[in-house]
Amino acid sequence: MRKLILLTCVLLLSTAPGIPSAIAVVLDLTTEGSWGTINEAIFQQFDGNPTGTGNIDSFIRIQASGVQQGYNSDGRPVQYNEDTSTQWNHSLLLSDIPIVTNGGIDYREFLLDINQNGQNILSLDKVEVYLEATSNILGHPSNFGTPVYDLDAGEDNWIKLNYLLNAGSGQGDMLVYIPDSVFTGLNEYVYLYSRFGDNFAADDGFEEWAYGVDGPIIPEPATVLLLGLGTLVLLRTRRP
């Protein structure tokens, strides 16, 4: 019989930048200002104002009840739960993603806006980022190359989000900082695949990813060991 061990804690050594996690991580961003790292990327709760659709430069919008997933592309027909409009689902150039320098490290900044006005809590269960040479690729994952970033990277990591911290659409709920060093090579188009609802289901509101907005100043990566505010739940299964 397997036993599930749960440990709730402040950011641990296993999730510090440059140190791969040996166990699955749940990053809890359901409190204001909370943040943490998974696989060298920094995730930070963000409550910018004002809210309202159209206040952010979205490149992918996803909507479904329960589990929802999708990625941005100029290609059609869509594969998962993506919006079909070119306004809300289109290609993204690497040069369009702002660079934020923190602790001497350059990061590419993304913004996530969630819209769950039913149960309010939503899980972000997968994030995969790819660099490709063309703008209209379809057929995830078989037609995509090796991702430059993977939230899981061998473990079932996920993030817990709270819609009520910034209710409404159009300004964002979480900032994501991915090290610029992973965006190597000559390919210039960025594809971001994400999946929501495996642990806390979507209630049919839409989620959208946008370019970064030069958001809050984040702690230097070295301080993650001491000052992390995001609560982590670390999961490991063991056989008796």
Query: Per residue in 153-164, pLDDT tens?
Result: 989 999 999 999
Closest residue by Cα to residue 159 from 46, 69, 37, 8: 37
The string of pLDDT tens digits covering residues 180-204 is 999 998 899 999 999 999 999 999 7
Residues 220 and 120: their CA atoms lie apart, in Å, by 30
Task: Identify the top-confidence range among 70-74, 104-108, 118-122, 143-147.
Answer: 70-74
Taking residues 126-133, report their average pLDDT: 97
Give me 79's structure tokens.
């594969």
CA 107/CA 72 separation, integer angstroms: 20
Predicted confidence band of residue 118 (pLDDT cuts 50, 70, 90): confident
Q: What is the mean pLDDT of the chain?
A: 82
Residue bearing tokens 């490991």: 236
What is the rounded end-to-end Cα distance, in angstroms, of the chain? Answer: 7
**Residue 117 scores a pLDDT above 90:** no
Question: Over 70: is that where the pLDDT of 11 sits?
Answer: no
pTM of the model: 0.83
Could you give the dihedral angle defined by the CA atoms of residues 196, 89, 30 and 96, in that order, rounded to the nearest 10 degrees? 130
What pLDDT score was predicted for residue 64?
96
Three-state DSSP at 70 gives strand
Domain ranges of the chain: 3-238
The band of 54, judged by pLDDT with boundaries at 50, 70 and 90, is: low
